[in-house]
A and B are shown apart, each in its own frame.
Chain A
Amino acid sequence: MYAIREALTAFRRAPVLMGLASAMVGLALFVVGLFGLATYNLHLALSAIEDRVQIAVYMRDDARQSEITLAQAELGDISEVQAVRFISKRQALERAREELPEFGQLFSNLEVNPLPQSLEVELLPGERNSKVVEKISAAAMEYPFVEDARYGREWVNRLFDLRRIAAASTVAMGSTFALVAALIIGTALRIAIFARREEIYVMRLVGATNGFIRRPFLLEGAIAGLIGGGLAWLMTWATYRAVYAFLLEVAWIPPMWIFAGLASGAVFGAFASTLAIGRHLREV
């Protein structure tokens, strides 16, 4: 109770100092927030591209319907496969007419449909990588009536290279930003605590236990971190709105990320305060 009252009173007694500490925490977490926004949208963009990864299994014209149905069922039973759709020669032509209207004249003058019948194999999310795609293609090529299995090897490999680079960058940059934020938060709260070293000294001299002295500062750090987290959220949201309105259509980060940001602000704040006050507690 004393700790809560003291922590709240600190904001009333030294509003500028605690305000500055909160603002510094806010700016540090704002950078993390911007990084989160960029990462999330990059993740969405890559996922959208990944959704289009599928295998087209082209079959000879003389393949029997019973063989095709069996292949469709067997391929569909593979654990990484989400769905297998049969595309007849007629459907392939209709699709070509829709997707390639510039060749409309050519398609309408055909006496024989040159497009092959095929099976379109769609993979489960999380399985759309080059290794699985190659495995399914190889399985499809086992059937004697299959002429070719295509998935755009180069394109898929590049996509997954890009995915790996994005993941590595996220880890490296995210860790760096988090470390910088932690250092800034630590410094801000250390300054705030340094300004009150006399208070800590007096508390020690009148017989306060370390825990008693530490608790209000720990709470103050957590509150400053939480306020900073709130400020960072507002600034990130304002940036998101500005980017959305004037530059490009981006998605807002999930609520869980915002909650994690606020919680990390509070935890960083409490942790930084604990570290900063430890130095003063050893002095007397």
Chain B
Amino acid sequence: MIKLTSVCKEYAKGGFALRDVSLHVKKGEFVFLTGHSGSGKTTTMRLVHMADRPTSGELRVAGYSSDRVTKRALWKIRRRVGFVFQDCRLLPGRSALENVSFVLEVTGTPRKDVVPRAQRLLTKVGLTPKAGALVHELAGGEQQRVSIARALANSPYALLADEPTGNLDDRATRMVMDLFWDINANGMAVLMATHDLELVRRYPHARVLELDHGRLVYDSAAA
């Protein structure tokens, strides 16, 4: 599913963001990627989403190697791996429904199926009544749920989430986490970067990875 082998990422100005990181996220796993700010969590997420390339080592996502990834392969990977950002990154000036249906249109879903499928996804995240609301009219937790619905639109194999609860209050955090667990229970791998160890402790069954200064220093599966 997601496999990093001796991956290093060096900054253009010198210094390492990741050093010799090897990890393997299997199908159906729920993995927390933890560490302090600057430990390399976001760099790892960007690499997995192919928004960046490793300086050395090999990265494989959904069967594609970062060494030989073409433009066409890049689109395919991004359609197979959903991404949820801390700041949601929804398209402004559009409704929740439009934000989800736009992804379906991007990936060539037949026009007649776009709106029904987008509505089903919003129902899945509990936002049916807010489907027509513009994104700036939604609360933070609601926006994050729209963002999750959007990430699920392509029926991906895995979901990447970079600090998805970082801007949310406790109640919204619980709702979003419940949603991630439901998604994971249906067989989708979830790789979530977070620095919130309190949150991690609430989910003892999840696998935990810890990065420190760009090195993988802890893997609960290996412990």
Query: A209 touching B89 by the CB < 8 A rule?
Result: no
Nearest CB on A from B133, distance (A): 16
Query: B51 touching A284 by the CB < 8 A rule?
Result: yes
Query: B106 touching A201 by the CB < 8 A rule?
Result: no
B91-130 residues with Cβ-Cβ distance < 8 A to A are: 91-94, 103, 105-107, 111
Query: A205 touching B51 by the CB < 8 A rule?
Result: yes
A-contact 0/1 string along B126-149, CB 8 Å cutoff: 000000000000000000000000
B75 partner, pick from A14, A202, A209, beta carbons under 8 A: A209
Q: Is B76 an interface residue (CB 8 A)?
A: yes
Query: B106 touching A207 by the CB < 8 A rule?
Result: yes
Nearest CB on A from B49, distance (A): 7
A206 partner, pick from B76, B94, B103, beta carbons under 8 A: B103
Q: Is B173 an interface residue (CB 8 A)?
A: no
What bracket does the count of chain A residues touching chain B fall in? Answer: 10 to 19
Measured in the bound complex, the distance between the Cα atoms of B51 and A204 in whole Å is 9
Q: Is B42 an interface residue (CB 8 A)?
A: no
Nearest CB on A from B124, distance (A): 17
**Chain A residue with minimal CB distance to B93?**
A13
Interface of A is mostly: helix
Residues on B with C-beta less than 8 A from A13 are 93-94
**Chain A residue with minimal CB distance to B80?**
A207
Query: A208 touching B106 by the CB < 8 A rule?
Result: yes
A203 partner, pick from B51, B106, B154, beta carbons under 8 A: B106
Q: Is A212 an interface residue (CB 8 A)?
A: yes
**Chain A residue with minimal CB distance to B98?**
A9
Query: B111 touching A1 by the CB < 8 A rule?
Result: yes
Nearest CB on B from A280, distance (A): 14
Q: Is A98 an interface residue (CB 8 A)?
A: no
A2 partner, pick from B75, B83, B91, B105, beta carbons under 8 A: B105
Measured in the bound complex, the distance between the Cα atoms of B63 and A154 in whole Å is 83
Q: Is B78 an interface residue (CB 8 A)?
A: yes
B70-95 residues with Cβ-Cβ distance < 8 A to A are: 71, 75-79, 83, 89-94
Nearest CB on B from A199, distance (A): 5
Q: Is A148 an interface residue (CB 8 A)?
A: no
Residues on A with C-beta less than 8 A from B154 are 206-207
Residues on B with C-beta less than 8 A from A2 are 105
Q: Is A69 an interface residue (CB 8 A)?
A: no
